[in-house]
Amino acid sequence: MQFFLIHGGWQGGWCWDGVVAELQRRGHKAAAPTLPGLEPGPRDRSGIGLTTMIAYGAAELVARDLTDVVLVGHSGGGSVVQGMLELVADRVSLVAYMSARILLEGECILDFGQARRAAYERAAASSPDNAVSLSEEVWIKSLCSDMSESDARSWLPKVVPNPMGWLTEKAHYPTGAWEKTPSACIFLDGERPEAKARYQAMAARLSQPRTTHCQGGHEAMLSQPVAVAEAILRVAGVQADRLP
C-alpha cells in the first residue's frame, strides 16, 4: 500500500520518520513531505496560509505519481488533506484523520483555539514574518504530555515557527470532496480530555468513518511510532494477524 502523511503545525515531515520507517519495514511505501513555511532554518513565512499548504501537498503527491493512496493528516494537517482532496481525490482511496482538525466551509483552525488566539495574534504581529513560535511549556506539558520532559525536550530543536496564515485562513472546499471520500479516524488515548472531546466532535462531521484507537498523546508519532503505524494499517484494512 502507499501512504502519504501530512504533519501538523510547528513541525515538518521529520515527525513521521519513525512511522514511515515502520510502514516501510512492513513492506509498504510511505512518504511525508514538509509543508511550505515549516522547513528548518530561517524562512520568510509571511503570505503562507492554508491554500499554500494544500497546493503544495497535492503537487507533491502528483509529482511522486502516487495513486490508490491512503492520505493521513495529523492535527492541523487535517485541514490540509481535506483541501488536497479538491485536487487529487481520484488518487486517494482513503483519508485518515489522526487527532485532526476537520473544518467546515468558512471555518479556520483558530476558531477552535480561542484560549490561545489572542496570544498567537500578538506573537504573529511582533514577528518579522507573521509567524508564531511555540512555547516550551505548550510543547512539553500539552502536546508531549505522554513523554518524559527530557524526551519532549529532545525534539524541541526541530520545532519551527508556524505561519499564522495557516491558523487563520478560512477553509474553502467548493466541491466537498472530503465528504465523499472514504474516511477514517485515529483517536489517541493519551490526549488531554478537552482535546479528546474536540476531536470526537470533529469526527462526527464525517460520514461513517472507520475508527480505531491508538496509545500515545498528541505527538504519538514521536513517542509511539510503531503503534501509530499499526493504527494507520488497521484503518487501511490491513489486519493485525497479517502484520509481520
How does strand 69-75 pair with strand 29-31?
Answer: unpaired
Are 243 and 26 contacting, i.e. CB atoms less than 8 angstroms apart? yes
pLDDT given at position 239: 63
Residue 110's CB: how many other CB atoms inside 10 A?
16
d(CA 21, CA 5): 12
Res. 24 pLDDT band, cuts 50 70 90: very high
Strand extents, DSSP E, the chain: 2-6, 29-31, 69-75, 92-100, 131-132, 162-163, 183-188, 210-214
17 or 194: which leads in pLDDT: 17
d(CA 163, CA 188): 25
pLDDT given at position 243: 45
10 or 43: which leads in pLDDT: 10
pTM above 0.85, yes or no: yes
pLDDT over threshold 90, residue 244 = no
pLDDT over threshold 60, residue 240 = no
Q: What is the mean pLDDT of residues 155-175?
A: 97
pLDDT given at position 49: 97
Please give the radius of gyration of the chain, using alpha carbons only, rounded to the nearest integer.
Answer: 17
Strand extents, DSSP E, 124-182: 131-132, 162-163
Q: What is the mean pLDDT of residues 178-185?
A: 98
pLDDT given at position 238: 82
- Percentage of the chain with pLDDT > 70? 98
pLDDT tens-place string over residues 184-238: 999 999 999 989 999 999 999 999 999 999 999 999 999 999 999 999 999 999 8
pLDDT given at position 117: 86
CA dihedral sign, ordered 168, 11, 194, 208: positive
Helix (H, G, I), strand (E, B) or coil at 243: coil
Q: What is the mean pLDDT of residues 129-145?
A: 93
119 or 61: which leads in pLDDT: 61
**All domains in the chain, ordered by first residue:** 2-242 (3.40.50.1820)
